[in-house]
Structure 1
Amino acid sequence: MSDHTTLEAQIDQWRAYLQRRQAVVSADVDELEDHLRGQIADLTAGGLDDDEAFLVAVKRMGGLDAVSREFAREHSDRLWKQLVLVPGEPGARTWWRDLAVLLAFALGAGLAIKILVAATADEMVMVRNAAFVVLPFLAGWFAWKRRPAPVVAAVVVTVAAVLALAVNLYPFVPAGEGDPGMTAVLAATHAPVVLWLLVGVFYAGGAWRSHPRRMDFVRFTGELAVYLALIALGGGLLIGLTFGVLSLVEVDFEAALSGWVLPFAMPGALLVAAWLVEAKKSVVENIAPVLTRVFTPLTIVMLAAMFVVLLVGGPLTAVDRELLILMDAVLVLVLALLLYSISARDPHARPGVFDWVQLVLVGAALAVDAVALTAMVTRIAEFGLTANKTAALGLNLVLLAHLVWAARLGLGFVRGRQPFAAVERWQTAYLPAYGAWAAVVVLLFPPLFGFA
C-alpha cells in the first residue's frame, strides 16, 4: 500500500509555489490546500492513483496565477490590505478573531513575566526562564491556528519541560558572588534555540519533516526580526516621548515603566510581530530581496576585514576569548542572512550575479570560521578544555559542516549542475543540527563540567 509520500511532496511543492504569489495570503493558501486535498480524496476514492488524482485536482483548481488574481480582486490596493482588512471584506471575521486570540495570548505572556518577576529577585533565574514563560504562548497561538496532532504536541511539550527542569534544578555552581557559573550561562543562552525550533514545529502544524514548511519557518523568522525591529524603534520612541513629557510635570513614570509597561510590552511585541507576519507576509516579502542585496555585500566586506585583522594580529593563541565569541555571533548572523536570502529567492529563476555574491559570502564565512577554529584549537591545546571553549568549538564545527556543503551546492547551482531545490533543501534539512547541539549544551554540559 502506498504511504502517500510522493503525494505529500507534490502538495508541499504546490503549496510553496502558491505561497510565493504576493496576492495570495496565508489563510488563502490554507483554504486552497484544503480544497485541493478534498478533490484528491474524491478522485482517489473513485479509483485514481495519487499521481493521477493530484494532476486532475490541480487542473480543476485552475492556473495559480488566475487563482492569485481571484483572491486579489483589487490588486492596486492589496498592499494596504496587508495591514488592515476593510470591514465587510471576506476574511475580516477571521482576521479579528485571530487578533483577539493573539492578544489574549500576549496578555497571558505579560502576566507570566509579572509572576516570574514577583517570584524571584535573582536576575539569572529570570534570564534562564524568560524564554520558558514567553515562547509557550507564541507556540500556543500557532497550535490554535495550525492544530498539530496531539502526539506531536505532547512530544514538543515534553522536550520543553525537560529543558525547563534542567535549567532550574541543576545545581549550578556560581563563579563568584553575583557571578553565575559558565554552564549556567551556556544553559540560559542555548535553551531558547531549542525552544524556538520547537515553536517551529507548531508553526508547521506538526509537519516538521516537510522541507517547504521548514523554509516557511525560516522566512517567518526573518520577517519577524524585521517587524520586531520596527516595533522596537517605534515603541522606544513612544516611551521616550512619554517619559520626557511626564518628567516635565514631575510625574514619576519609571516605576510604571519597569513594573507594568515593559513586562507586557516586550512579550506583546513578539506576539504582535508574529501576527503581523502571519496577517500579511507579502509586505515584507517585497522588502526581503532588497535587504539581502544590501546587507550581503556589506557583510562580505566585514568578513574580509575580520579575516585580515585576525591573520596580521599576532599569534592565534593571543586572540581574546571575547573576540572569538563575537566571531561566532558574526558567523551566526551570516548564516541567518544566507537562510533569509535563500527563502526570499524565486526558486525558478536562473542563476544570476547575486547568486555568485552569495557564494562569495559563504566562502568568506568559511575562511573566517577556519581561522576561528584554528585559534580555538590552539587555545585549547595550550590552556585546556572549558565548558565555554567546548561550546564555541562545537558551534563552529556545526557551522563549518553547514557552510561547506552549502558552498558545494551553491557552486553546483551557479554552474548549472545542481537545481536550486537542492540548495534550499540542504538549508532546511540541517536546521535540526543546531537544535541538537543546543540541547547537548543545555542538558549534558553542566554535569560534564561539574555545574561550574
Structure 2
Amino acid sequence: MEVSHDELEAQIDRWRGYIQRNQAISPVDVDELEDHLREQIAERQASGLDDEEAFLVAIKRLGNLDAVSREFAREHSDRLWKQLVLLPDGSDGAGAPPWRELAVVLALAVGAGVAVKVGLALIGDGEALARNVGLLTLPFLAGYFAWKRRVSIRVVAALVIPVVVLAATLNLYPFVPGGSTAMLAALHSVVVLWLLVGVAYVGGRWRSGRRRMDFVRFTGEFAIYFTLLALGGAVLIGLTLATLQIIGIDFESVMEEWILPFAVPGAVVVAGWLVEAKQQVVENIAPVLTRVFTPLTAAMLLALLPVLATAGGLVDADRNLLILMNAILVLVLCLLLYSISARDSLAPPGLFDGLQLVLVLAALGVNAVMLTAMLTRIAEFGYSPNRTAALGLNILLLIHLVWAAWLAVAFLRGRRPFAVVERWQTSYLPVYGVWAAVVVLVFPPLFSFS
C-alpha cells in the first residue's frame, strides 16, 4: 500500500537523525547526503515507484556512496534500523580541527563581551541598553553556527538584513522614556533574534521539520548549560569577592565594569558551543528532565485552574498576576516542545504521552481563564500596548495548544503518526516570530511610542 507524503517526510527525518548521531559525519556532509537522498527519491518517483519503494531504493543507492547509509540500507525495516550501532569507519569528517573551533568560539565570546562593553560606554546603562542587549550578544552565537554550518551567502544575507532592521528600529524609533512599547520591543526583539539563531543553527534549511525540532532541542539544552555556567560563575565570583574582602581589597568595581560585561555575553556563546560539542551527553538528560517536570507542571496547572476559575475579582486583579500566568503558559509550551524533541518518534503511545495531553488540556484551561480576564479588562479599560501584546500572545497560544491537543488525541488513538504531532509543533514556531516582529515594528508607532 502506498504511504502518504507525510510518512515519507517522517522516514527522511528519521534517516537524517540516524545519520546525525554519527559524530564522524559533519553537518555539511549530512546535508549533502540528504540532498542526494531526495534526488534519488525524486528519480524513483518519476519512474513510477510509490513513496515507500522510492525511499528504500534511494537508501540502497546511497549505500554505494557512504558506509553508514549502506549499513542503514542493509538493516532497514520499520523499526529495526533505529537500533543500529553507528560505525564511524570510512569518514573522517569535514569539520574544523578542535583547536580551530575552540579559537573561533573564544574569539566570538570575547567579541560579544567587547560589544556589550562598547554598548555600555556609548549607550549607557538604561532603557536604550536594555533594548540592545540581544543585538549585542545573539548575533555572535548566530555567527558561530553560520561558521560551523558553512552557510551560503544567501543565508548570511537572510540573517544580517533582519538584524540591521531590528537595530535601526530599536535605536531610531522615538520611544517615550518609561513607556510600554520600548520594553515590549526589547523583549520581543529577543524572540526574533533567537529565531534567527535557529536559522543559522539549521544551516538555513528551516523548512525541514526535523531540523526545526533539532533547534527546539538545542534551545532546551542551551538553557540547561547556560544555567549551569551562570551558577558556577556566581559561586566562583562569590568566593573571590569574599576572599578579597577579607584581605581588604575592593573587587566589586572590577566585577561590575569588566567581569560581568564579558562573562555574561561570553557565556551565551560558550553555552551554545557546549551543546554542539556534547549533544550525545545531553540526549540522556533530556528525557529524564521532561519525565520529571511534565507531571509536576501538569499537577501545578490542575491545582491552579480551579483556584483561578473560582476566584472572585480576577478581572480586577493586579496585572502582574496576568503577566505571571502568561509566563507560566510560555514555560509550559517550552516544556511541551522540549518533551517532544526528547521523545523517540518511533515509540508507540504510552503513559507519558497521556501525561503530555493532560498538561496541554490543563494549560488550555488556564489559557481560557486568562483570555477571558484579558478581554474583560480590555472592554473595561480599553486597549494598551501591554494588553494588546498579551492578548495576541494568548490567542496564539490558544491556537497552538488546541491543535496540539487534537493531534495528541489522534496519536493516542492510533489515527496519526507521531511525526505529524512533531511537525505541527515546529511548523507553528515562525508564527511567534512574526508576532514578535509585529510588536517590535508596528506597536511603537501604533501606540505613539508610549
Aligned equivalent of 1:349: 347
Q: Which amino acid aligns with 2:433?
A: G
Post-superposition shift, 1:149? 2.5
Aligned counterpart for 1:152 among listed residues 142, 150, 155: 155
Q: Is the 8 A contact 2:25 2:93 kept in 1?
A: no
Q: 1:230: which partner in 2?
A: 228
1:136 matched residue in structure 2: 139
Paired AA for residue 71 in structure 2:
G
- Tell whether the 8 Å contact from 1:44 to 1:53 is kept in structure 2 after alignment: no
Q: Distance in 1 between matches of 2:399 and 2:436?
A: 16
1:137 counterpart letter in structure 2: F
Per-residue CA deviations over 1:342-401 (Å, capped at 9, x if unaligned) read 000000000000000000000000000000000000111111111100000000000000
Deviations 1:38-67 (A, max 9, x none): 688799999x97757623234443234697
Match in the other structure for 2:70: 62
Letter in 1 for 2:244: L
Confirm whether residue 18 of structure 1 aligns to residue 9 of structure 2.
Answer: no
Task: Say if 1:29 and 1:450 are closer, same or farther in 2 by CA, change over 3 A.
Answer: closer
**Unaligned segments of structure 2, at least 5 residues:** 1-5, 48-53, 73-80
What's the CA shift string for 1:142-198, capped at 9, x where partnerless?
111112232232122111211111111111112xxxxx1001111011100001001
Deviations 1:403-446 (A, max 9, x none): 00000000100111111001000001000000000011110011
Q: Does 1:162 align with 2:179?
A: no
Which of 356, 381, 384 is residue 382 of structure 2 equivalent to? 384
**Which residue is equivalent to 2:111?**
108
Please report the TM-score for the alignment, with normalisation by the length of structure 2. 0.88
What is the 5 A alignment of 1:19-34? 19=20, 21=21, 24-25=22-23, 27-28=25-26, 30-31=28-29, 34=32
Q: Size of the alignment, in residue pairs?
A: 426
Cα 1:184–1:41 shift into 2, 3 Å: closer
The residue aligned with 1:196 is 194
State the distance in 1 between where 2:380 and 2:41 align.
68
Taking the TM superposition and a 5 Å limit, the aligned residue runs for 1:18-417 are 18-19=19-20, 21=21, 24-25=22-23, 27-28=25-26, 30-31=28-29, 34=32, 54-60=58-64, 61-64=69-72, 68-71=85-88, 94-174=97-177, 180-417=178-415
Asked whether the 8 Å contact 2:60–2:70 carries over to 1, the reply is: no
Residues of 2 paired with 1:203 and 1:90: CA distance? 18
**Letter of the structure 2 residue corresponding to residue 162 of structure 1:** V
SS of 2:97's equivalent in the other structure is helix
> Would the aligned equivalents of 2:37 and 2:59 in 1 still touch at CA under 8 Å?
no
Is the contact between residue 222 and residue 340 of structure 1 (CA under 8 Å) also seen in structure 2? yes
CA contact (8 A) 1:172 1:451 kept: yes
Distance change (3 Å), C-alpha of 1:93 and 1:440: closer
Structure 1: state its 5+ residue gaps.
74-88, 175-179
Q: Secondary structure at the match of 1:349?
A: coil
Classify 1:158/1:246 alpha carbon distance in 2 versus 1 (closer, same or farther; 3 Å).
Answer: same
8 A contact 1:26–1:280 mirrored in 2: no
Deviations 1:45-95 (A, max 9, x none): 99x97757623234443234697442399xxxxxxxxxxxxxxx9899622
Moved more, 180-189 or 311-320: 311-320
The CA distance in 1 between the partners of 2:257 and 2:143, in whole Å, is 25
Q: Is the 8 A contact 2:201 2:215 kept in 1?
A: yes
Question: Bigger shift: 303-312 or 341-350?
Answer: 303-312
Distance 1:53 1:214, change over 3 A: same
Distance 2:84 2:349 in 1: 28
Moved more, 141-150 or 197-206: 141-150
Distance (Å, rounded) in 1 between the aligned partners of 2:210 and 2:36: 21
The separation in 2 between residues aligned to 1:324 and 1:182, in whole angstroms, is: 16
TM-superposed deviation, 1:29: 5.5
Calculate the TM-score normalised by the size of structure 1: 0.87
Contact 1:40 1:57 in 2 (8 A): no
For 2:42 and 2:425, how far apart are their aligned partners in 1? 34
- The answer as to whether partners of 2:371 and 2:394 remain within 8 angstroms in 1 is yes
